[in-house]
Amino acid sequence: MSVGYHIVVCGGIVPDPLQTLEPVKGPAGWGLKNELMLPAILDPWAGHALFEAANLAKSAPGSKVWLVSMGPKAKLQQVMMTIAQKVPFELVVLDGPAGGFVEAHEVGTALAEAIEALPGLDKSKLLVFGGWQSASRGAGATMQIVGEKLGIFDQFQGVDKLEARADGTMRILERVEGGSYQESVVAGPPAVLGWATGELPEPPNNPQVGMQNMRLVMPALQKAKPVKIDGGPEYAKVEIPSQKRETRIVKDTPSEVIAKEIIDWLGA
């Protein structure tokens, strides 16, 4: 019988996508204009990973969920006011830069070290969850690197479904081309899963859960160790894509018309 999983979710924070994100070069290299002042949210891919993790943990008694996050700790605290209300987890904070300008290798190494150092972590029960990509950069490399560093070679990327079966094996659906799935069965943990959108909706806020989480979140933020990231790529030039998003709002447009527009756009 299941004695539970140890699920570590890696999740960064990203600026609220409603904002104009303008790259600027500061003394510490490239970043976004007014980055600290922009409202931040949990990276949506990581969000799916977290909700799936919580759901899996709930169905497998004895499980535990950690959320390992690297980002400026003041920003992380702000994001936690929403995330902590969604599902139970224990936060581990790496106080460092967030966003798309840090080399995936650096981020992956820092995350792997933090996971390695988790007190009480049982690697034989370990599932490392994260986003297949992130909203700040679609390299799709970070989770792979985390896995490699931890010596976990069963890796799945673009996951939409995980089914934990009674015999301890897990059936996993990964996105492949054209809306199809690749189906795999893995013997059990340890494994790395980079999630696509999963299947679960965003859970509603529950302040009771929030109050429980915050008891651990606040101390975690306080004792967060600064992470020094050095090296990484040199960007010669960074700019906003020239194709700008022009949102049109047309009331009462029938869905067929919208669908046709999308198809025309895809074909153009």
* Residues within the interface to other proteins (CB under 8 A): 16, 18-20, 33-34, 36-39, 72, 74-75, 78, 81-82, 84-85, 204-208, 210-211, 214, 217-218, 245, 247, 249, 251
Task: Please name every residue paired with 69 in a beta bridge, in sequence order, or none if there are none.
Answer: 93
Least Å distance between CB 198 and other proteins? 19
Q: How far is the CB of 199 from other proteins (least distance, A)?
A: 20
Q: Rounded to a whole number, what is the distance in angstroms from the first to the last CA of the chain?
A: 54
Smallest separation, CB 211 to other proteins (Å): 5
For residues 21 and 31, is the Cβ–Cβ distance under 8 A? no
Q: Smallest gap, in angstroms, from Cβ of residue 76 to other proteins?
A: 11
Q: How far is the CB of 91 from other proteins (least distance, A)?
A: 13
Structure tokens that stand for 116 in this block: 């390695």
**Quick one: 11 or 72, whose CB is closer to other proteins?**
72
Beta bridge partners of 227: none
Q: What does the DSSP 8-state code read for residue 234?
A: P
Nearest one of 202, 196, 61 to 129, comparing CA atoms: 196
Whichever of 231 and 241 has its CB closer to other proteins, that residue is 241
92: its two tokens? 């581990």
Is residue 217 within 8 Å of residue 87, measured between CB atoms? no
Q: With respect to other proteins, which residue has the nearer C-beta, 18 or 268?
A: 18
